[in-house]
Every structure is written in C-alpha cells, then in structure tokens.
Amino acid sequence: MINKYKASENRLSIMEIERFAVHDGPGIRTVVFFQGCPLHCTWCSNPESQKRKPHLLHIKNKCIGCGRCEVVCPQGNISIQDHFPVFNRLACVACKTCENICPQNAIKFVGESVTASEIMEILLRDRDYYLNSGGGITFSGGEAFMQFEGLMDLLIQCKNEKLHTAVETCGQVNLDKIKQAFPLIDLFLFDIKHTDKNLLKKETGANLDTILTNLRYISSKNTNKVTIRVPVIPGFNFNENTLREIFLLAIENRIKNVHLLPYHTLGKDKYEQLGLVYPYPHQQMLTKEELFSFKETGEKMGLEIRIGG
Amino acid sequence: MANFNVEGAQNVEISKKIPCEKPLIVQLEIMEQYTAVHKACATLPKEIREVECLKVLYPTLFRKITDQDLIAGRTDFLPIGFGCVTSLGGVGHYCVFKKLRAFQQQLDKTEWKRVDALYDYWLDHDLKTQFNKEVLTEDTLGMFIDCEYPMIATARLSGMMLDYPKLLDKGIGGLRSDLQERLKKQPDNNFYKAGIQCLDIFVDCASYLQQDAKEQMASADTNRQKELERICQALENIKEKKPSTFHEAMQLFWLFALLAGVINYGRLDDYLGPYLVADLESGRLTEEEAYRYIHSLWTMIENRRTTVNGRIIVGGKGRKHPKEADVFLHIAMKVAKNCRYVEPQFTLRFDKDTSEDIWDEALDALGAGATYPTLYNDDVNVPAVMYGMRVDEKTAEQYVPFGCTEFVIQGQSTGTPNICINLLKLLTIYMNDGIDPIDGKRKSGPVPLKKLEEYQTFDEFYDGYKALLDYYLDLSVKAQYHSYEVMNQHVSFLFTSLLTDDCIARGKALLDGGVRYLGGTNETYGNINTSDSLWVIRDLVFNQKKYTLRQLHDAMLANFDGYEALRKDCLNCDKYGNDLETADTMANDLYEFVAKGVRDRGIAIGMQYFLIVISNNQLNTEWGNRTAASPDGRLSCMYMNPANNPQGGANKSGPTAMLNSLAKFDAKYHGGSVQNIKFSPSMFNENRAVIKSLFKTYFAKGGCHLMVTVVDKGVLEDAVEHPENYPDLIVRVSGFSAVFVDLSPNIQQELLSRVLYDK
C-alpha cells in the first residue's frame, strides 16, 4: 500500500483537510480544501483559498503587542506600530518563525504544500466511517481543478481504494479537464451563482458560458452525478426571479438536487487577519428560514431543494 | 502509621442528600443503641454481631412511603450504622466522623456529651479508620480523598450487583429453606444462622411498611387507596412466596437491595421482563401503568442520591429472556428520556445484533439531552472480560458496569475500586528527584532516582519512571487485598452474601471465601497527560534535542513563567486524540504497562482479577488541582484529562480522529474505560444518520464504550453566569452525570474545556 502512494509525489497547495465533514456531500466525509481559485467572488468566505501560497493570519484580539515577532523575523518584515505588529506580507517567505514564537497564538499560517501521498494517508484513516455512512472524499477549495495534476492523482488513488468522490467546483474549468476527470468523480457539487452573464462577471469574474458548457456536459453524461449549489447572497441573487432562473436551468439539465447555501459573514474576520478589506458591502447573514419560500418554489417545480449543504 | 484526618471527606458527594425524617433526638437514640449493641456483641461471632446490629437499624430507619411511590421502601442513613459503601452511610460498622460532628452541631448543647462519647468509641471501631491506620503511609499512600498523595486507598464494597434472578426464582421462603437445610448439616455455621435472621429482618420490614401503607389509606383518595392496597398485598405475598406479578417482583428486589445497602441494580430488563410481559399479556397491567411503575422506581433510585452509582443495565448478550427483556427496555428508554434524572445511570449494552429500533430510541434519548443511555459494546467487552477476569464466555456475558464504569460479574464477583493512582503526579515527582513540587515533600519511597542529566536515552528515562510506578503498583495490590482482609475480619455483608455465588453453597460470607470471583479495580488518573508528557520528552528532548530535560524541568518548576516559547513547543507536540501514531502509540504503551502491571500483580496475590479502570468523576479535576505543571504544557494545579479522553482542547482533528485514537487501546487489559464525546444539539439531531454510523463504525473498530453529551456550549457558559436558570441541566462529568450548577467552578471549567463537536 505504502509503496503505491510513494509513487505520487505530486505536491499540492492545501488550505485545510477537514475530517468528519457532514455538509459537503453524503455521509461522513473528509474534505480537502485546495488553494487557488479562478474567481474572486466579493463575498468569498475563504479569502485565504484564492491564491496558492501560505498566508499569514494575524488575530488581533489575541495579540498583546509583546513585540517578540518583530525581534525574531529573520527578514525584518515585522514592525510594531501603535502596539501592534505590521507585516510586510509581500516580502514574507513564510518561514513561520513569528508563528512559533508568538505566546498568544495570534499568528497563524494557512496554506501548506503537501504530497498527494501524505493527503491519502490522512484520507484513508476514516475509510470505515465513509463506507458505513455512504460517505467519502470531497475536493473543495478554492477550485480543486486549478491543481489538476494533483487532483487527478488523488482521484485515481481514491478510486483504487473504492472511495466515493465528490468535487465542489465553481465550474470555471477547461472542459477537457472535466472530461478527463469525469469517470473518477461520483458527484459534482456544481456552483451556479447567477444566470445573468454580466452580473456574474462583475461580482465573481466568472464566464457563464464556460460554466454552462461544463454543466451541460456533465449532466448529459450522467445527470445523477450533479447537485447544483447556490450560495444565496443578499444584493446579488437573493430574489425569487434569479433563483427561479437557476431552478429552470436545473430542470433543463434534468438535475434533481439543488442546495441553497445561506449567505454568512463568518469569513469576514479572516480579511482583517489577512490585512485585507472585506470587499462585499455590509449585509446581514441569512437564516435558513429566509430561504423557506424559495425552497417551496423549487419543490413546486419538481426539484429536491435542501437548505444548507 | 500515617497521620490522617478521620473527618476528611470520604467520597464524592455532589447530589444533595435528602435529610433523615426522624427527629434529631431519635436519631441520636438509634445511634446510641447501635453502639451499645455493637459493644455488647464484641465477643460474639462477627455474623451474629452484624445481624444484631442490623436489627437496631431496620425497620426503624425506613422512611414513610411517599405519595408518588408505587412500591414501598426508602431508607435513611445516620452518621453511625452499617453499610457497604461510602456514598450511603459508610462501610461495615461505620462512623462518618465529619457527619457526626455536623449532627452534633444541630443538637442542644446539653446533649453534646452523648455524641462525644459515641465519637470516642468509634475512633477505635470504625472499620475504615482501622483500615486507614494499618495501610496509610506518611508519604506515599493517602486516605480517600486526600489529593496530596500520588495514591489513595479505601476500604469499601462498592459495585455489588446481586443475583436477583435467584431471589425472584426462590423467593424469601425458598432462600430460607435452603439455609435451613444447610444449617441442619452444619449446625455451627454462623453464616447460615445469621442469614436466616436476615430474612426475618426482611419480613419485619415488609410488615413495618404494610403498617405504614395501612395508616396512610385513611387519608388517601380512592386512587391512592387502591395503590396502597396493592402495596400492602404485595408486601404480604413476598414475605414468603415467590413473586407472581411485576409489582411483587419489583418490590422484592427493591426491598432486598435496600437492606443489602447496594446501590447498583443489575440487568433489570432480563429479570423483571418476564413478570412485566406476563402482566401485560394477562391484562393485569397496561403499558401506561408499567411506565408509571418504572418511573416510580427511577424516582426512588434518584432519591437515594449516590452521585456516581444507581446503575440499571439493559440489553446485551447473555440475557435469559431477551424478548421479554426488550419490552422492559423499550419502556425504560422512554422513562430515561423523559425524566432527566442524574440517577439511575441507565446503561445500554448492545452488540452487532441489537435492533435499529433500540439504537434509534437510544439516540433519541441522548439527542433530547438525557445523557442516557450510556453505551457499552458487548462485541468488545465480552471477550475482553473473558481475558481480563479469566472467566468463560457464559460468565463474561454477565458483566455489568457499576459506579463510574467498573465491571463486575452480576451475582458472582466483587470489583470494588479501593485504590486510585495519579500517574501524572508521579511523573512530576519522578522528574523532581522524588520531591513533589506541589508541597516539597518526598514521595518516591525507597526507589532510587537519577539526576535528570544522567539519562542518555528516552528509554532510560522511561524505565526509571516505570520503576517508580512498579513500586506504587506493588503498594496498590497489597492495599486492595488488605482492604478485603480488614473488612472480612469485622463483617460479613450478610444480605449481599446471600445473593452472591457461592456463599450459600460454601457456607461462607463473600469475603470469607464465599465469593466465586474475588476481583478488584484500581482507578488510574492523568493517563493521557502522562503519555502526552512522555511523548513531549521523547520528541523535544531526545529526538529533536531542542531542549534538555533540565531545561524542560526548570520550565515546569517555574510553571512555564518566562518559558512561554518552550511551553508552546510542548503544547504543539503531537497529542493523543488526533489519530496520530506518535502520541497514540505512547499512550497505548503506558496504558499497557500500567494495566498489565496491575493485572499481573492481582493474579500473583491470589485474586481472580485486579484490573485498572480508566473511569472518572471529578477527581481528575481535584487531583489536578494538586498536581504540578507537566511536560505536556499543562499548568500547575490545572485539571487533568478526563477518563480515557484527551486533555480538553488537545483533540483538534474532529470526532473520527478522536474515536480512532480511543479505539486503539486493547480493552482486554482494563476493567472498564470511559470514553466521552460531546455534540451540540443541532449537530447531533440534524445529522442523526451520520451520527449513528459514526458511533457504529467506532464500535466496529473496537470501541468499548461511549458516553454522549448533547448540549450547547452557550448554554453551559450561561449556566456558569446564571445558575439559577438551570436547576436541572444535566451534564456527564465522565463516569457519571451531574446537575451542572451543582459542580464546583473548576470542574465546570474542565467540562467547558472539552471539545464540543458542532456543525
């Protein structure tokens, strides 16, 4: 077994591996969060997944401004200003010396380069849980297809191990890649955020045509392999018309399942921790209850609608 | 001999006891009479002395039947009397000095001298005090519960689960004729003589309770009159005859259990099930009435308030009447779900054939926040018990968990944990040249210790620690064995012996050679902090060579003050509970060393078994409060890890990873090991199918047990702030459930620190 994995030394940039995930596909799953995304949705709750590199997160409310990080940074990239460290993030080489010294655990790096075999070793630890619960592995991100070789490597190994595989994708992917990966993927959790080409482009940078081409290809091959996922965002697609359009798109492609994911702001803190500004205008989090009427609409149209993953 | 405080706290007492219903002066008179009889019988055989003393207590100490009771029997306990366990009264002929002093304070000062006289007499006669005098040492072995010591010992007979099937099959009359037959052949056998008198006490008590029921009828309404009539009739019938109804069977078992002073009740489903089904089938009882009966029993058990006992076991392998037992089980499951008591500790044994219905009912009760049932996996535990206790499969199938989780064989073995050992305190003592950093006292006995600089390899270091452990394990088995000798010297535990194999057949009380399997248990604490600490030493000191042992130890002595970076390295080392080979292998290695060491010593001294239990009550917190900073990064005086779980917050990889770690220990070396897991209500209830397969997979992978708490963290935090709003919020402390707001602040903090799996 071990030898088989040794062969796959493809390195991947990974944000996190979450075990016992119950919201991204059926059963008990492990989700591998890839880094790198072709989109830049303004409400993105995982800003540290957008670029493939280690990101320094500074959790200000834990920080006591002791200045130890300033002293130890071998690059001289940290300076204390107004009692708090200021990081020269562009010049940071992610040596993690500051993370290790911080007595408050106020500095944390996210984003690691790991081999496919290292990932597989973790994935296989919960094998029995997947098999007994009808679960498996979900590749998410970021956009898993952005690291195509690594993704293929993992998919092949998962299939060798007879594990159920799901990929959560934004759909902004080269069709050839989808075609190659298709036989190895049991379930596509396929994001459809809007049906208006221009609005979609503006808020996410996505090309609707590419996305629809891919959706059509997958559903024409096997419509049961697709679940449409809609992040429901106030001020963007949180209205009857848009959601109805998306439901129609599902029906057109004979897709049964649609998940509505209520907008949340839990990722907001991360922007501050990354030294960024949250780009999406202030909006309240949505409750599940606020999506009930859309669920009804979809169900009347013959779809199976679930609120939450 | 060591100095010890005879008024020290003897046991865990969180649930508040219901005060005695007799006037103070009557209580004093009973204690005086008890003392006088005890004195007068000094030269008589211990069996006769015991039964004469029991006659002073019973039936006098029975309380009035309360309005909601459907069967009769509630008892009071005084600071002086007779018992088996520390949580109800005391052990053998006992005096609980602290409670006697408190009692004295309530009396008129003119009566104080009478109490002083009792106090002085019992200083020389209280069983536990005599044990303490003989066994405790100045610096190594302390009294229950003195957290200054690395090991503590007591004399008690906890966890006895009687052979109730035999009682129900024979009835009092059947037992009586057995004893009379045997007495004819051995006319000098005092055990038989006293045993017969015990049955007389039983009959007297039944009459006493009948009298009470009759008196209450006068002022009762029609409904209650009927209930009291039924109580009266049943009490009459069970004086001699075998029980013929569910009511009678329940009354017989209950009254006997009260008189025996036992606080765990065995496999109720199997022995009461057939009576229940017969009543339901004949129309004597409706299902609703059955529910009320079981609910009434639950309340009576709750009202005994033993804090960590009150076990009722349902389900599992080896039931004689599985079909009928399941009828009881289903109703009991509803009662457990609805009544939300701390006790009884409702225990579900299951195996791979257990029906989905039962699983779903169990998860419903847990999801509703009942904290019960607590789950025991027979597919793992039965083979484990066969090996651990050296018994055949049929016998092992009769294992029952009591107290905080320790196993006994129902009606056939003793398993009382009379020893507790703090592995972590010993590690801090070992590293500090034998001196406990907490109080500067030497506690290493005669074990020679090296300077930290002299250890060249991790194995040398670890071997030195094991040598200190060996010394303590030797002490532990001697103290456990001696606790039986001391108890046997003074008492026979007659009622308990009558329903324990093979006392009647052998004509001997249980500790006199009567019990078939003389077993015992040793509670180990701080297991995971210790193994995590050993892993830190192996990794940081010997593998990475980042620090020397001396540097690490200096940091520990300073409670890591000024050593924050070093502490962070310690905390960042791999920790048990994350499914990592490193820390988990270390934990398993230490576990097997201690568990096998204890088991081997038990066999060597002549016991059937002596096994560790990794149970827990609040002792992990209290003992942690008196344990110095440790290499795993735990600060001085901080709580230690609960049961077999990671230190709160150390498991960061989700429930599958934690359960994988838990399942790595081979269950055959322990006599019970508690595994806790905590979920938020939304996670647990909105993902029920996933939770079910999570549990089932863990059990299929070798998990022996699971104790589930479903609670919102916000609720617990709010309960700390506003205890008045949460009078009945129940949480699992580990080996038992408790009302959260009754716990002390540091224990509440320990509970809050445990990882909660949320969505």
pLDDT in tens, B32-44: 999 999 999 999 9
Describe the strand order of the beta sheet including B705-710 as a list of residue ranges.
B311-314, B345-350, B374-377, B705-710, B676-679
Q: Which helix (H) or strand (E) holds B523?
A: strand B517-525
> Using 50, 70 and 90 to split pLDDT, how confident is the model at B728?
low
- DSSP lists the bridge partners of residue A304 as A257
Phi–psi pair at B449, nearest 5 degrees: -120, 145
Q: What is the CATH number of domain A2-51+112-307?
A: 3.20.20.70
Task: Please name the residue that has the structure tokens 């103070």.
Answer: B24
pLDDT tens track for B210-245: 999 999 999 999 999 999 999 999 999 999 999 999
Helices marked H in A37-140 — which ranges? 68-72, 97-101, 116-123, 127-133
Name which of B683, B689, B697 is nearest A128 (Cβ-Cβ): B697
Per-residue confidence (pLDDT) for residue B140, from 0 to 100: 96
Mean pLDDT of B588-606: 98
pLDDT of residue B14: 62
**Taking 60 as the threshold, does the pLDDT of residue B2 lie above it?**
no
- Measure in Å the smallest separation between the Cα of B759 and chain A Cα atoms: 8
Q: Which two tokens stand for residue B175?
A: 């037992």
Nearest CA in chain B to A28: B690
Per the listing, tokens 């935090």 go with B717
Rounded-to-integer distance, Cα B721 and Cα B740, Å: 12
pLDDT value of position A1: 35
**What distances in angstroms separate CA B433 from CA A91, B436, B550, one per listed residue?**
49, 9, 12
Percentage above 70 pLDDT, chain B? 97
| CA dist., res. A160 & res. A170, Å (int) | 26
Mean of pLDDT values over B158-164: 96
> Tokens for A176?
């050839």
3-state secondary structure of B474: helix
DSSP structure class, residue A288 = G
Nearest CA in chain B to A97: B565
- Give the Å distances, CA to CA, from B579 to A131, B614, B646, B664: 18, 19, 11, 9
Mean pLDDT, rounded, for A84-89: 96
Residue B713: predicted pLDDT: 77
A20 at B interface, C-beta within 8 A: yes
**How far apart, in whole angstroms, are the C-alpha atoms of residue B430 and residue B435?**
8
Confidence class for position B735, pLDDT limits 50, 70, 90: low
> Residue by residue, what is the 3-state secondary structure of A165-210?
EEEEECCCCCHHHHHHHHHHCCEEEEECCCCCHHHHHHHHCCCHHH
Residue B734 has pLDDT above 60, yes or no: no
Using alpha carbons only, give the angle A279, A281, A284 rounded to the nearest 5 degrees: 120
Give the helix/strand (H/E) hosting B484: helix B458-490
Q: Kindly determine whether residue A101 and residue B565, on different chains, have CB atoms separated by under 8 Å.
A: yes
Confidence of residue B12 (pLDDT cuts 50, 70, 90): low
**Rg (alpha carbons) of chain B, rounded to whole number:** 26
For residues B280 and B251, the answer to whether their CB atoms sit within 8 Å is no
Contact across the interface for A103 and B693, Cβ inside 8 Å? no
Instruction: For residue B654, list chain A residues with Cβ-Cβ distance below 8 A.
Output: 18-20
Pairing status of strand A112-115 against strand A107-110: unpaired
**pLDDT value, residue B399:** 98
Task: Please say if the pLDDT value at position B720 is more than 60.
Answer: yes
* Identity of the residue in A19, A102, A128 whose CB atom sits nearest the CB atom of B657: A19
Asked if ipTM goes beyond 0.90, one says yes
Between β-strands B345-350 and B374-377, what pairing exists: parallel, antiparallel or unpaired?
parallel
Binary contact (B693, A23; C-beta < 8 A): no
* The two three-digit tokens of residue A217, written as one number: 């290809």
% pLDDT > 90, chain B: 85
pLDDT for residue B670: 97
Instruction: Answer whether residue B603 shows pLDDT above 50.
Output: yes
3-state class of B3 per DSSP? coil
Q: Which among B653, B694, B757 has the least Cβ separation from residue A129?
A: B694
Is residue A126 within 8 angstroms of chain B, CB to CB?
yes
pLDDT of residue B759: 63
Which among B655, B683, B700 has CB closest to A128? B700
Q: Do B654 and A100 touch (CB under 8 A)?
A: no
**A102 contact residues in B (CB cutoff 8 A):** 568
**B26-33: average pLDDT:** 98
- Give the list of residues 6+ apart from residue A198 with CB closer than 8 angstroms, or none: none
Establish whether the linkage from the previous residue to B606 is cis, with ω within 30° of 0. Answer: no
Minimal Cα–Cα distance from A261 to chain B, Å? 14
Q: How far apart are CA A98 and CA A100, in angstroms?
A: 5
Per-residue pLDDT, B718: 82
Tokens of B328: 């009881």
Other residues' Cβ atoms within 10 Å of the Cβ of residue B18:
12
Mark yes or no for CB contact A132/B700 under 8 Å: yes
Per-domain residue ranges of chain A: 2-51+112-307, 55-110
Distance of CA B566 to the CA centre of its chain: 39
pLDDT band per the 50, 70, 90 thresholds, residue A4: very low
* B656:A101 CB<8 A: no
In Å, how far is A302's CA from the nearest CA of chain B? 24
pLDDT category at B725 given cuts 50, 70, 90 is: confident
Interface of B with A (CB under 8 A): 564-565, 568-569, 579, 653-657, 660, 683, 687, 689-690, 693-694, 696-697, 700-701, 757, 759
* Binary contact (A129, B697; C-beta < 8 A): yes
pLDDT tens for B174-203 read 999 999 999 999 999 999 999 999 999 999
pLDDT at A6: 46
Of the partner residues A20, A23, A105, the one whose CB lies closest to the CB of residue B655: A20
Q: Do B690 and A101 touch (CB under 8 A)?
A: no
| HEC-encoded secondary structure of B677-738 | EEECHHHHHHCHHHHHHHHHHHHHCCCCEEEEEECCHHHHHHHHHCHHHCCCCEEECCCCEE
CA distance A133 to chain B (A): 5
pLDDT of B752 > 90? The answer is no
Angle between helices B164-185 and B246-260 (to 10 degrees): 60
Give the DSSP H/E element, type plus range, for residue A31. strand A29-34
CB atoms under 10 Å from CB of B402, counted, come to 30
- The tokens for B655 are 């429930």
Summarize the confidence of residues A28-34 as an average pLDDT: 97
CA distance A264 to chain B (A): 14
Q: Which of residues 23-52 of A touch B (CB under 8 A)?
A: 23, 27-28
Whole-angstrom distance, CA of residue B501 vs CA of residue B505: 8
Enter the tokens of residue B549: 């042992």
Mean pLDDT of the region B61-77: 97
Is A105 within 8 Å of B568 when comparing Cβ atoms? Answer: yes
Query: What's the confidence (pLDDT) of residue A266?
Result: 78
Average pLDDT rounded to a whole number, residues B647-668 = 93
Q: Which pLDDT score is estimated for A2?
A: 36
Q: What is the mean pLDDT of chain B?
A: 94
Of B564, B656, B683, nearest to A103 by CB-CB distance is B564
Q: Which residue of B has its CA nearest to A68?
A: B565
Distance CA B169, CA B476 (A): 39
Q: Give the nearest partner residue to A125 out of B655, B660, B687, using CB atoms.
A: B660
CB–CB contact A133 B700 (8 Å): no
How far is B689 from chain A, CA to nearest CA, in Å?
A: 8
Query: How would you label A175-195 residue by residue, b for 16+ Cβ within 10 Å and e otherwise?
Result: eeebeebeebbbbbbbbbbbb
Supply angle C-alpha B646, B730, B684, rounded to 5: 65
Is residue A3's pLDDT more than 50?
no
pLDDT digit string (tens) for B400-456?
999 889 999 999 999 999 999 999 999 999 999 999 999 999 999 999 999 999 999
Q: Quick count: other Cβ atoms within 10 Å of Cβ B254?
A: 19
Greatest mean pLDDT among A97-106, B3-12, B211-220, B646-655 lies in B211-220
pLDDT of A8 above 70: no
pLDDT at B152: 98
For the segment B263-283, the average pLDDT, to the nearest whole number, is 98
- pLDDT bin (cut points 50, 70, 90) of residue A7 is very low
Mean local confidence (pLDDT), B509-537: 98
Q: How far is B67 from chain A (nearest CA, A)?
A: 47
Residue B8 has pLDDT above 80, yes or no: no
Residue type, A129: Y
Q: Which residues of A touch B696 (CB under 8 A)?
A: 132
Residues B336 and B314: beta-carbon distance below 8 Å: no
pLDDT for the residue numbered B652: 87
- The Cα–Cα gap between B365 and B359 comes to 10
Q: What is the pLDDT of residue A5?
A: 42
Q: Which of B380, B287, B242 is nearest to B670 (CA)?
A: B380
Q: What pLDDT is attached to residue B581?
A: 96
- Residue B1: the pLDDT is 46
Quick check: A31 and A17 in contact, CB under 8 A?
Answer: yes
Overall average pLDDT of the A68-91 stretch: 95
pTM over 0.90: yes
Taking CA–CA distances from A26, the nearest residue in chain B reads B690
Contact: A132, B689; criterion CB under 8 Å: no
The pLDDT value given to residue A161 = 97
- Nearest residue on chain B to A17, alpha-carbon basis: B653
- The whole-angstrom separation of Cα A251 and Cα A262 is 22
Nearest-CA distance from A71 to chain B in Å? Answer: 14
CA angle B247, B250, B256 (to 5 degrees): 135
Which chain A residue shows the shortest CA-CA distance from B562? A103
C-alpha–C-alpha distance, residues B564 and B579, integer Å? 27
A19–B contact, CB cutoff 8 A: yes
The rounded distance, in Å, linking the Cα atoms of B139 and B142 is 8
Q: Which residues of A touch B657 (CB under 8 A)?
A: 19-20, 125-126
Q: What is the pLDDT of residue A45?
A: 87
The chain B residue lying nearest A19, using CA atoms, is B654
Asked if A271 reaches chain B (Cβ–Cβ under 8 Å), the answer is no
From chain B, pick out residues whose CB is under 8 angstroms from the CB of A101: 565, 568
Record: contact B696-A101, CB cut-off 8 A: no
pLDDT at A308: 85
How far is A102 from chain B, CA to nearest CA, in Å? 7
Architecture of domain A55-110 in this structure: 2-Layer Sandwich (3.30)
First to last CA, chain A: 33
- Which pair of structure tokens corresponds to residue A295? 């669920």
CB of A105 less than 8 A from some CB of B: yes
**SS3 of residue B347 by DSSP:** strand
* Confidence at B3, pLDDT banded by 50, 70, 90: low
Please count the other Cβ atoms lying within 10 Å of the Cβ belonging to residue B554.
16
B198, B565, B309: which is closest to B552 by C-alpha? B565
All residues of chain B having their beta carbon less than 8 Å from the beta carbon of residue A23 are 759
pLDDT value of residue B719: 82
Cis geometry, peptide bond prior to residue B437 (ω within 30 degrees of 0): no
Comparison of pLDDT for B582 and B653, the residue scoring more: B582
